[in-house]
């Protein structure tokens, strides 16, 4: 990597600096360097625990940068052939550098609090002069990147990714839990207004483990039946407990990414740094919030055409949370509780289209309420010699509004009505172990394990003659898993190497929730899923940096799965096994400081999920007659990053990213009406819902994002555009009236719910005032039309099954306002107006045809002490 302070890899000094160097010589310059170093670094002289063994000087400097978070720059030849005695222990970085460089004939200079330059004073003083009188030095190598902030990481990575801070989550959390994901190019939350869950779509890939959502390394994904209208994969967390979110798009080399063909969403819960004031070891965070534009939930069965909308500033919902934290040299502890309650929201009034939904402008949208309680408890034990163990527990209880997707479409002749509320009880336990001994570059061990238990009781109902007829879709599941990896680093004359290797295991069982009488349930409801699935994988990744401007990365993973269907409808339990390899590789070139060009390719195997493997109402065709094979996503990405500080002003920041992606998924797993020979009439066929592997599905597109921050003013823009989307079934397996290939998704398949908008654009502009205590801004979001409008082609009565309706939407533009004021060191007030223009719209990827919230005012007060 070239220094960002150079021009074409060279650092120039004016003639007067050269003259000064000649006059003062080698006596004055060393003294000035040392004095400058101590002056700059005096502000950040806190101890850092170093573990750098004796070895090559280049490797020692690389480890210093990685462990301290300080960028280290130097001409490559000054370290060639030199050795270092290393350093071990907790000392200030300057002291560590003194030890690392002892006997090398080199010195150092802290040019800022996070950048240090290694100097060969003799060669520098006698470097040749350029024609303009400046001094030319060789290309400077940056040896460490640990100092890159999480917000900057997406602009220094070979691949497309995103980071959402706690501040951004607060700013854009919206009405529904998944709203904070809006604005990330290529990322949408599916079924946003139905249950308060997160179901992430990345570049058209969604559901069944294609995009795992991990909270502190744990998965709680549950698939929920939507009738003929497909299924949704739901994950749950309270927004007050989210500390930050990292999103990786496309194939991943992570230990936790088995089967992740679309990407990975990694959420971290709040920690001590989110709660404690600077310098404090014990603290409390209190948060209270309100929202407008909602009404109390009416009695089940209520059906009406119009309910009065509350006034613009009338608080009708809210939340509160308390978090307590403490830290010592041996332990960190966090405990938190959150309560959240909001009624049914109201639709907007402008831009109404009666073809989109049964709901009128400003109408109360039934079955959109939330009533939640959440708990969080975690503690981290910090041992000597690089050991730590974090234990965590979270509990999420919710009574929420839900409507079955197929009923919402099938009852278009009736007025909307309030159904029964559904419930979820989710408990998650996590354990995260870290080991990095002080005297080894070869051990950097990470072990994450979890256990989650879900009791999800989805209650639906049909309204006939003013009477509700209930339908239950209850599921109880337990999932536990572990992934472990170790990283070893090697520094040689042919380049730096990083080797990571490990494995993962997960097991999931599905049945009725505990305490439910199976005979009673099955006498009136659909048979529940009953069975289990387990998957084992092992992987290794090698990164090689032969030159300062070139990085090569290769990874391979082998995974094997096994499922067991124990449905009573089968003659005997049905077992299924399979497995395969998933290679991923990338090349990164950095021709200029801060500018990267990369290529990435992955061929990732995703095994059938537990939902896709077990008998359930979603699949009429028996599982043992049409088991599906794993799907394989072949993804190519070509992109560029640019990260520059001090572009126009001393402290401004510019961040740019652009990428082209091409995903071709062989054996894409979905559902459709497939041919089945009639037992009583050989040679004739009926078409019933069953699992199938498509020939392929494909998504191609581009994304771009830019951010600029000048301190007082900041802004950003993001754009995602799809060039091609297509789904193709094998010859002769679909109903004769159905299209074999369709960009809108195969008829009656889950894919019709997951076709993204052709274009999404987000523009964010803001400013800071009063010593940056006040931040104000506005965000504009444009969501274009569905890539191809779903017109139901190929679905006829002869298929024997009702048609699956995708949620079509009209293009819409939203304007949001936000402000945050830091009252003092202890208190911050946040205020927002979502959907300022009160737009009536239906969300992209919504599985049910209901409008999104109209104009909504939100406010929150956070106090720390």
Q: Residue ranges of the domains in the chain? A: 15-142, 153-864
Q: What is the mean pLDDT of residues 30-50?
A: 49
Nearest alpha-carbon partner for 503 in 491, 525, 486, 480:
486
pLDDT digits (tens, 9 = 90+) for 235-286: 999 989 999 999 999 999 999 999 999 999 999 999 999 999 988 999 999 9
Alpha helices for 412-568 (secondary structure H): 518-524
**Angle formed by the axes of helices 15-41 and 93-101, nearest 10°:** 120
pLDDT exceeds 90 at position 622: no
Q: What is the pLDDT of residue 185?
A: 94
The pair of three-digit structure tokens given for residue 64, joined into one six-digit string = 């210093």
pTM here is 0.84
Lowest mean pLDDT among 173-182, 446-455, 618-627, 802-811: 802-811
Q: What is the mean pLDDT of residues 554-564?
A: 97
pLDDT exceeds 90 at position 120: no
Q: What is the mean pLDDT of residues 121-131?
A: 46
Q: What is the pLDDT of residue 131?
A: 53
**Rounded CA gap, 669 and 409, in Å?**
25
Q: What is the pLDDT of residue 468?
A: 86
**Angle formed by the axes of helices 57-68 and 93-101, nearest 10°:** 170
pLDDT band at 737 (very low <50, low <70, confident <90, very high): confident
pLDDT band at 139 (very low <50, low <70, confident <90, very high): very low
Q: What is the pLDDT of residue 195?
A: 81
Q: What is the pLDDT of residue 406?
A: 65
Residue 496, classed as helix, strand or coil, is strand
More reliable by pLDDT, 654 or 33: 654
Nearest alpha-carbon partner for 86 in 500, 444, 499, 441:
441
Lowest mean pLDDT among 356-370, 509-523, 798-812: 798-812
Q: What is the pLDDT of residue 176?
A: 85
Lowest mean pLDDT among 327-341, 404-418, 439-453: 404-418
More reliable by pLDDT, 461 or 823: 823
Q: What is the mean pLDDT of residues 183-203?
A: 90
pLDDT exceeds 70 at position 8: no
pLDDT digits (tens, 9 = 90+) for 585-610: 999 999 998 899 999 999 999 999 99
Q: What is the pLDDT of residue 551?
A: 95
DSSP state of 159: S
Lowest mean pLDDT among 134-138, 530-534, 599-603: 134-138
Q: What is the mean pLDDT of residues 435-439?
A: 84
Alpha helices for 82-212 (secondary structure H): 93-101, 121-125, 166-171
pLDDT exceeds 50 at position 390: yes
Is 15-142 in CATH node 3.55.50.30? yes
pLDDT band at 748 (very low <50, low <70, confident <90, very high): confident
Q: What is the pLDDT of residue 385?
A: 80
Helix (H) or strand (E) holding 35: helix 15-41
The pair of three-digit structure tokens given for residue 687, joined into one six-digit string = 């078409």
pLDDT band at 296 (very low <50, low <70, confident <90, very high): very high
Q: What is the mean pLDDT of residues 467-496?
A: 92
Asked if 194 and 247 touch (Cβ cutoff 8 Å), the reply is no
pLDDT exceeds 50 at position 375: yes
Percent of the chain with pLDDT over 70: 88
pLDDT band at 476 (very low <50, low <70, confident <90, very high): very high
Q: How far apart are the first and last CA of the chain?
A: 43
Lowest mean pLDDT among 287-296, 331-340, 676-685: 676-685
* Highest CATH level, class, for 153-864: mainly beta
The pair of three-digit structure tokens given for residue 820, joined into one six-digit string = 């945050």
pLDDT band at 690 (very low <50, low <70, confident <90, very high): confident
pLDDT exceeds 60 at position 742: yes
Q: What is the mean pLDDT of residues 781-807?
A: 65
pLDDT digits (tens, 9 = 90+) for 87-97: 877 788 888 88
Q: What is the pLDDT of residue 129?
A: 44
- Count the alpha carbons within 13 Å of 582 in the hemisphere toward its beta carbon: 29
Asked if 462 and 468 touch (Cβ cutoff 8 Å), the reply is yes
Q: What is the mean pLDDT of residues 497-526?
A: 92
pLDDT exceeds 60 at position 302: yes
Average pLDDT across the chain, whole number = 85
């Amino acid at each position: 990597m070239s220094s960002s302070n150079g021009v074409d890899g060279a650092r120039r000094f004016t003639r007067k600096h050269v003259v000064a160097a000649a006059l003062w010589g080698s006596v004055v310059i060393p003294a000035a360097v040392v004095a400058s170093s101590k002056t700059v670094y005096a502000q950040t002289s806190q101890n850092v625990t170093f573990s750098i063994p004796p070895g090559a000087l280049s490797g020692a400097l690389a480890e210093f940068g990685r462990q301290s978070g300080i960028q280290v720059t130097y001409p490559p030849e000054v370290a060639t052939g030199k050795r270092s005695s290393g350093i071990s222990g907790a000392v200030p970085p300057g002291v560590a550098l003194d030890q690392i460089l002892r006997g090398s004939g080199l010195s150092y200079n802290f040019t800022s609090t996070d950048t240090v330059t290694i100097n060969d004073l003799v060669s520098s003083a006698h470097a040749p002069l350029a024609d303009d009188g400046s001094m030319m030095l060789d290309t400077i190598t940056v040896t460490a990147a640990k100092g890159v902030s999480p917000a900057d990481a997406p602009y220094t990575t070979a691949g497309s990714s995103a980071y959402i801070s706690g501040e951004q989550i607060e700013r854009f959390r919206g009405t529904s839990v998944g709203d904070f994901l809006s604005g990330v190019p290529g990322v949408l939350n599916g079924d946003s207004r139905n249950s308060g869950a997160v179901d992430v779509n990345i570049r058209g890939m969604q559901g069944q483990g294609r995009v795992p959502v991990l909270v502190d390394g744990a998965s709680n994904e549950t698939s929920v039946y939507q009738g003929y209208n497909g299924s949704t994969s739901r994950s749950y967390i309270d927004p007050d407990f989210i500390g930050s979110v990292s999103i990786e798009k496309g194939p991943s080399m992570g230990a936790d990414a088995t089967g992740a063909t679309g990407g990975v969403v990694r959420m971290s819960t709040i920690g001590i740094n989110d709660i404690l004031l600077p310098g404090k070891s014990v603290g409390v965070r209190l948060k209270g919030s309100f929202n407008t534009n909602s009404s109390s939930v009416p009695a089940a069965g209520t059906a009406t055409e119009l309910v009065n909308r509350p006034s613009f500033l009338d608080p009708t919902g809210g939340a509160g949370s308390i978090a307590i934290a403490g830290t010592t040299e041996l332990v960190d502890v966090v405990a938190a509780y959150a309560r959240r309650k909001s009624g049914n929201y109201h639709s907007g009034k402008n831009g109404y289209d009666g073809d989109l939904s049964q709901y009128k402008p400003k109408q109360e949208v039934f079955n959109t309420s939330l009533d939640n309680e959440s708990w969080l408890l975690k503690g981290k034990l910090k041992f000597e010699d690089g050991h730590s163990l974090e234990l965590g527990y979270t509990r999420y209880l919710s009574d929420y509004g839900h409507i079955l997707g197929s009923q919402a479409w099938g009852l278009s002749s009736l007025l909307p009505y309030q159904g029964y509320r559904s419930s979820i009880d989710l408990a998650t336990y996590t354990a995260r172990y870290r080991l990095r001994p002080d005297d080894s570059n070869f051990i950097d061990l990470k072990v994450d394990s979890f256990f989650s238990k879900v009791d999800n009781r989805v209650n639906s109902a049909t309204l006939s003659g003013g009477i509700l007829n209930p339908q239950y879709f209850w599921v109880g599941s337990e999932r536990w898993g572990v992934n472990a990896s170790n990283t070893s680093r090697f520094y040689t004359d042919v380049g730096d190497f990083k080797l990571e290797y490990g494995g993962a295991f997960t097991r999931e069982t599905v049945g009725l929730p505990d305490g439910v009488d199976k005979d009673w349930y099955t006498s009136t409801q659909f048979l529940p899923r009953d069975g289990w699935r387990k998957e084992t994988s092992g992987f290794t990744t090698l990164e090689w940096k032969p030159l300062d401007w070139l990085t090569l990365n290769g990874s391979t993973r082998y995974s094997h799965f096994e499922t067991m269907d124990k449905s009573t409808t089968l003659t005997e339990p049905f077992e299924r096994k399979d497995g395969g390899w998933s290679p991923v590789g990338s090349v990164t070139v950095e021709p200029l400081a801060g500018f990267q060009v990369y290529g990435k390719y992955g061929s990732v195997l995703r095994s059938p999920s537990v939902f896709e493997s077990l008998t359930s109402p979603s699949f009429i065709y028996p599982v043992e007659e049409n088991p599906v094979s794993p799907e394989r996503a072949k993804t190519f990405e070509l992109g560029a990053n640019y990260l520059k500080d001090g572009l126009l002003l001393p402290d401004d920041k510019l961040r740019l990213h652009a990428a082209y992606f091409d995903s071709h998924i062989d054996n894409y797993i979905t559902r459709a009406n497939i041919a089945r020979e009639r037992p009583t009439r050989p040679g004739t066929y009926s078409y019933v819902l069953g699992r199938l592997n498509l020939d392929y599905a494909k998504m191609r597109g581009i994304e771009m994002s830019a951010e600029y921050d000048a301190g007082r003013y900041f802004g950003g823009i993001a754009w995602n555009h799809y060039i091609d989307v297509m789904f193709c079934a094998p010859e002769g397996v679909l109903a004769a009236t159905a299209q074999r290939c369709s960009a809108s998704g195969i008829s009656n398949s889950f894919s019709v719910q997951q076709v993204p908008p052709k274009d999404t654009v987000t523009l964010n502009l803001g400013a800071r005032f009063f010593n940056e205590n006040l931040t104000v801004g506005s965000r504009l979001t444009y969501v274009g039309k569905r890539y191809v409008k779903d017109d139901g082609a190929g679905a006829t009565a002869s298929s024997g099954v009702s048609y699956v309706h995708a949620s079509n939407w009209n293009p819409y533009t939203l304007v949001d306002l936000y402000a945050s004021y830091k009252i003092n060191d202890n208190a911050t007030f946040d205020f927002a107006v979502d959907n300022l223009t009160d737009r009536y719209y239906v969300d992209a990827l919504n599985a049910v045809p209901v409008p999104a919230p109209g104009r909504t005012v939100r406010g929150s007060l956070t106090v720390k002490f």
